[in-house]
Amino acid sequence: MTGKAEEGEDIAAAAAREAREETGLAGDLFDLGYVHEFDSTGGKRFREHAFLLRVPGDGRVRLSDEHDHFDWVAPDAARAAVSWPSHREALELALKRLAELRASAPGSKEER
């Protein structure tokens, strides 16, 4: 999903707000350090910042009227569904960060 920061709004705060508004989800937000810029067909310049939102296991999706459905999918299915190169890069960064978070979690194999 994507969204727009309000005037003067911090980018991370905007990402968290957009996630809540569009999906009803909240959790730990991780800046993936990836920014992609592009021009619209009308010539307007846009900048996308990539974030990972890690939600609690009991997080329940409540879609806004901006979306009509969602799917939880395995990484390979997510890769197959993403067509824009910049979104592929953001997905790979998110998957890498998620793997790092899982590896460092208490009780993970690397913790033992």
Any domain includes 55 = yes
> Which amino acid, one-letter code, is at 100?
E
Any domain includes 4 = no
Domain residue limits at 20: 11-104
Cβ atoms 61, 24 nearer than 8 A: yes
Cβ atoms 51, 12 nearer than 8 A: yes
pLDDT tier at 110, thresholds 50, 70, 90:
low
SS3 content of the chain, % helix, strand, coil (to 5): 35, 20, 45
Q: What is the pLDDT of residues 83-94, one digit of tens each?
A: 999 999 999 999
Q: What is the pLDDT of residues 63-75, one digit of tens each?
A: 999 999 999 999 9
Any domain includes 19 = yes
Q: What is the pLDDT of residues 2-54, one digit of tens each?
A: 888 999 999 999 999 999 999 999 999 999 999 999 999 999 999 999 999 99
Q: How many domains does the chain have?
A: 1
User: Which CATH number characterizes residue 70's domain?
Assistant: 3.90.79.10
Q: What is the pLDDT of residue 112?
A: 41
Q: What is the pLDDT of residues 96-109, one digit of tens each?
A: 999 999 999 888 77
What DSSP letter does each residue of 2-33 carry, written as one string? ---PPTT--HHHHHHHHHHHHH----EEEEEE
Whole-number CA gyration radius for the chain: 15
Cβ atoms 54, 32 nearer than 8 A: no
Using alpha carbons, select from 28, 32, 27 the residue that is nearest to residue 49.
32
Name every residue whose Cβ is closer than 8 Å to that of residue 110 and which is 6 or more positions away in sequence.
Answer: 103, 104
Any domain includes 110 = no
Q: What is the pLDDT of residue 3?
A: 87
Any domain includes 60 = yes
Any domain includes 67 = yes
Any domain includes 109 = no
